[in-house]
Structure 1
Amino acid sequence: MDTRHTSQPKAAGGLPGNESLDTPEQAEVRQLARQIVSRQSPDEKIRSHDEAHTFDHELYRGLGEAGLVGLGVDAASSAHPDARYQVAVVEELAAGPTSMAVCLIVQYMGVQLLTTLGTREQKEDVLAPLAGGAQRIAFALTEPDAGTDVAAAMRTRAERSDGRWVLSGTKTWISGPKVADHVIVVARTGPAEPSRVDGISLFVVPTTAPGLRIRELDTVGINSLDTCELVLDEVQVPETALLGAVGAGFRSLLATLNQERLNAAAAALGIAEGAFVLAVRYAGERHAFDRPVGAFQALQHRLVQSALRIESARGLLNRAADAAASGERADVLSAMAKLAASEAATEVTDQGMRILGGAGYSREFAMQRYFRDARLYTFAPLTDEMLKNYLGEQMLGLPRSF
């Protein structure tokens, strides 16, 4: 059974399909991503990398050479890349090689930060090879004792010494540093005044820097991209490693984190779509009591509910991406989109496991991988509960709950 996402849900189950809402330019980017995945990432290869916990360097190079890593990058400009193109690529990848979608989300964060904040030297030495797919970047924000409230509780520090910066601290749950050439490290450089988000700076650190130790963590999903702990033991970097202004790093992150929520929503939506296609196909092919199991009313209801979840999340994601691309406020819409998409991904993959039964429990089928990978987006980049808190305040005007 071919479980690749090259046949979109509309072909499998009557959904309108994501491309029906695309602009012509967005549709072109989506189709390019789909063609690359179809050519370079067949099902067996995805499963092989997932089982071996290895990164697909060939697929990444293909995406980079096609311009899909550095979408909209202009080294001479500080304009934000168009959000609509990024979500199209991430959605396509997530429906197949999901770990690569997670990798691209991190690369897009790096691209945006380097485009908007980078010096000419940083753009030439780091952004250009990153945008072309020749290099990769990681992003180190979360700490062992600080996740959602990392700005207030950050212990990683950077201090000036003899014309250099010296970084010390620990970061955890960092995606992709083992296959990255650089990591953007978020560290405190001054007091949290006048706000707790002040006094925090960004640094571009080579992953080969002396004193930087990387330890891979054993996770349940996203197996084809490493998740690691980073220990910075008096890591020395030159003054030119500073990205943006001293003390303004966290504020500079806010627009990037909003885009990360959009891309996270696209990833969760893609996972839901991939699982949905597989479930509908299986329901049409698997027979019991002399008819396809898809003829049973209870199973049809599960699939219809899955379709509703997917289409509702897609509508919110498209609205949020359009708002971001046009420069309008998109934080509330992106939070809603990420929440709706994560709920769609977990529900659709759960129903998919039930529909496939024993086949869903087998590693031969992709459903168990979708089921595992979808769980990431219930807590990353923010927990669903935290997003609900944020929406209660920002959308409903209720008192702050955290």
Structure 2
Amino acid sequence: MDFTEPTERQALREAVAELAGRYGHDYYAAKARSGGHTTELWDEAGRLGYLGVAVPEAYGGGGAGIGELAAVCEEFCAAGTPMLLMVVSPAICATVLARFGTDAQKRHWLPRFADGRVRMSFAITEPDAGSNAHRLTTTATRESGGDWLLTGRKVFISGVDEADAVLVVGRTADARTGTLKPALFIVPTDTPGFEYRPIPMDLVSADQQFELVLDQVRLPADALVGSEDAALAQLFAGLNPERIMGASFSLGIARYALDKAVAYARQRSVFDTPIGAHQGLAHPLAQIKIELELATLMTRKAAALYDAGDDLGAGEAANMAKYAAAEVAIRAVDQSVQVHGGNGLASEYGLGTLLGAVRVGRIAPVSREMVLNFVAQHSLGLPKSY
């Protein structure tokens, strides 16, 4: 058992941190406040191959695993440039297509994921389904000529205004039983009948949230990802990486906030004493450091299990990692603001913008309560509560 990362991954972290550091949180905050996007950073990261590290080498990617992609995401966040679309496009969408896409889908999409030319959103959440994916009502009907007609509504879908296409989770009727089963469809954002509108959010983020309306959207037969019969496997192939990337996203922000707090506590003096010498500030920061290290280990375990093909083990670890990372990120940002005092909410110090961002980690991509339900039922063997 090895608790250190491979040399190649450490080098990847250093390279990504150097790139992200040249942009920094001021760049990100300016984009977010103006309604802009981190296009320059995304495009440069794509050209350098950082967004495609987990895409198979046969399609121009790095051929590595979710562990490497999670490291990239964490370093961007640790530099104060948290790009939420990283959790969605290269992690969920590219992973699902690499594992289950047809040969034609792989040839068309994966090289574009590899160099960052394509951005793809992921749409599963619906207004009346909540965390119950079995109640999704977005439905695809096959026409006699082989086309699909897709109708439904989705909410809180990230980055649609930047995306070339959306990977939509719908349901199709089983030809034998007539029951509905999950299916995934690639929907280009310029498809007739596909509409999206922003959801106003009290968040300072360069990634906006959208509501989608699909009104009899006609799609060719090959818009269906892989096989109808592999739908559940396809869905969970994307959800485990989503949780791992969500954990890495939170870990990076926690590191950013902790580093800011420690630096300020060292240099800020009151009554000729650095404020970091006081246990009232030092002990909470030390606790956050401990919790951060523990959450990091669980995130790396989840990535290792997923990359080894253990989807069941990765599911448990990914949920735990996502939970632990979200909690420490909230504590880290809150405590860093407290260490800074009034400066913690001043734009100059780059912390206030993250208060809402880290809170999202308790809700998305799966709520803290649903993680606890999962652990209670699957890890502890307790009766299902819902």
**Quick check: TM above 0.5?**
yes
Aligned partner (choices 179, 203, 210) of residue 185 of structure 2: 203
The answer (yes or no) to whether the contact 1:169–1:233 under 8 Å persists in 2 is: yes
Distance 1:272 1:195 in 2: 48
Where 1:179 maps in the other structure, the secondary structure is: coil
Where 1:187 maps in the other structure, the secondary structure is: strand
Aligned length: 378
Against the structure 1 CA distance between its residues 23 and 383, is the aligned structure 2 distance closer, same or farther, given a 3 Å change threshold?
same
Distance 1:258 1:81 in 2: 16
The answer (yes or no) to whether the contact 2:29–2:204 under 8 Å persists in 1 is: no
Aligned partner (choices 194, 213, 217) of residue 195 of structure 2: 213
Residue in structure 2 matched with residue 106 of structure 1 by the alignment:
88
Amino acid in the other structure paired with 1:241:
A
Shift of 1:251: 3.1
Shift of 1:290: 2.3
Q: Which runs of 5+ in 2 are unaligned?
A: none
Shift of 1:43: 3.1
Distance 1:193 1:352 in 2: 58
Where 1:220 maps in the other structure, the secondary structure is: coil
Listed one character per residue, the Cα deviations across residues 284-310 of structure 1 (whole Å, up to 9, x for unaligned) are 122222222112220111111111111
The answer (yes or no) to whether the contact 1:189–1:247 under 8 Å persists in 2 is: no
Shift of 1:76: 5.0
2:86 maps to 1:85 = no
Residues 112-261 of structure 1 aligned to structure 2 (within 5 Å) = 112-150=95-133, 152-161=134-143, 162-190=145-173, 199-221=181-203, 223-246=205-228, 248-261=230-243
Distance 2:68 2:82 in 1: 19
2:344 maps to 1:360 = yes
2:278 maps to 1:296 = yes
Listed one character per residue, the Cα deviations across residues 191-212 of structure 1 (whole Å, up to 9, x for unaligned) are 699898x611111110011111
The answer (yes or no) to whether the contact 1:192–1:199 under 8 Å persists in 2 is: no
The answer (yes or no) to whether the contact 1:81–1:112 under 8 Å persists in 2 is: no
Distance 1:130 1:322 in 2: 22
Residue in structure 1 matched with residue 302 of structure 2 by the alignment:
320
Residue in structure 1 matched with residue 328 of structure 2 by the alignment:
344
Q: Which runs of 5+ in 1 are unaligned?
A: 1-19
Shift of 1:247: 5.1
The answer (yes or no) to whether the contact 2:55–2:113 under 8 Å persists in 1 is: no
Calculate percent identity across the aligned residue pairs: 34
TM-score (norm 1): 0.89
Shift of 1:97: 4.1
Where 1:223 maps in the other structure, the secondary structure is: coil
TM-score (norm 2): 0.92
Distance 1:230 1:171 in 2: 5
Against the structure 1 CA distance between its residues 193 and 149, is the aligned structure 2 distance closer, same or farther, given a 3 Å change threshold?
farther
Residue in structure 2 matched with residue 266 of structure 1 by the alignment:
248
Amino acid in the other structure paired with 1:372:
G
Distance 2:124 2:177 in 1: 21
Distance 1:257 1:389 in 2: 16
Shift of 1:377: 0.6
Q: Indicate the larger mover: 358-367 or 68-77.
A: 68-77
The answer (yes or no) to whether the contact 1:75–1:123 under 8 Å persists in 2 is: no
Shift of 1:391: 0.5
Where 2:31 maps in the other structure, the secondary structure is: helix
Distance 2:191 2:372 in 1: 39
2:384 maps to 1:400 = yes
Listed one character per residue, the Cα deviations across residues 47-68 of structure 1 (whole Å, up to 9, x for unaligned) are 2112113111111111111112
